[in-house]
Amino acid sequence: MQEEFSHPVKAGQIKEQPQDFTIAADAAQRAALAARFGLAGLEKLEGRFLLRHERSGIIAGVLSMSAVVTQICVVSLEPFAAAIKERADLRFVPAAALPRAAEGDEDEDITPDSFDSPDEIPYEGDIIDLGAALAEQLALTLDPYPRKPGAALPEAASDNSAHPFAALASRLGKKPE
C-alpha cells in the first residue's frame, strides 16, 4: 500500500546516541490523511522522533506528536476543531524478528504489561518510515465518537421512556428513574 505521508529513514544510520528527526505533513499529505481517516479536515500534523539503536536492528523511539483535526460531532453533526498533543514510545523492529502467528491462530496473550509496552512497528529491509508511523499514531489517538464541547442531545432524544425497562416500570406502576 502506498502511504499518503512517507518519510523514510535508513535504520542503519541510527546509532546508540539519540538522533532527533522532526517531520511535518504538507497540505496535500494532510488532505490525503484526512480522507483516509474520515476527518473533515487536518490543519496540522507534526512529529518529533527521538531515535536510538537498541540491538539487533531494533530502533527505540519516542514520538512527540501535535495535530489539529476537524471532526464531526456525533451529537450535533457540526464540525469542530480539536488539538491533539500526544507522546508515544515506539520500537521499530525488523519484520523477520517479529514472531509470526501460526495459520488460523491469531489469538495473542494480552497481559496488563502489554498495554504499557512500546508499540512495535515492523520494517522491511533497512528503511523505517517515520511518516507512516506518525500517521498510524494519529489514527490511534482519534476519538471514534467525537463530541463538540458543550454539545448536548435535544430533550426529545433523552426521553426516559426509551430505556429498556420502561415497559416493565409502567406495568409495575413505578416512575422510571
The number of distinct structural domains making up the chain is 1
Q: Does residue 80 belong to any structural domain of this protein? A: yes
For 76-123, the DSSP string reads T--EEEEEEEEEEEEEEEEGGGSPPPPTT-------HHHHHSPEEEEE
CA distances to 59, 132, 154, 155, 177 from 166, in Å: 57, 49, 20, 17, 9
Could you tell me the end-to-end alpha-carbon distance of the chain, in angstroms, rounded to an integer?
52
Taking the model in full, what pTM does it have?
A: 0.77
Higher pLDDT, 21 or 56: 21
Residues 132-171 have pLDDT tens digits of: 999 999 999 999 999 998 888 776 666 555 566 766 776 7
Look up the domain containing 31 and give its range.
8-152
Label the pairing between strands 19-24 and 8-10: unpaired
Q: Does residue 161 belong to any structural domain of this protein? A: no
Q: Does residue 160 belong to any structural domain of this protein? A: no
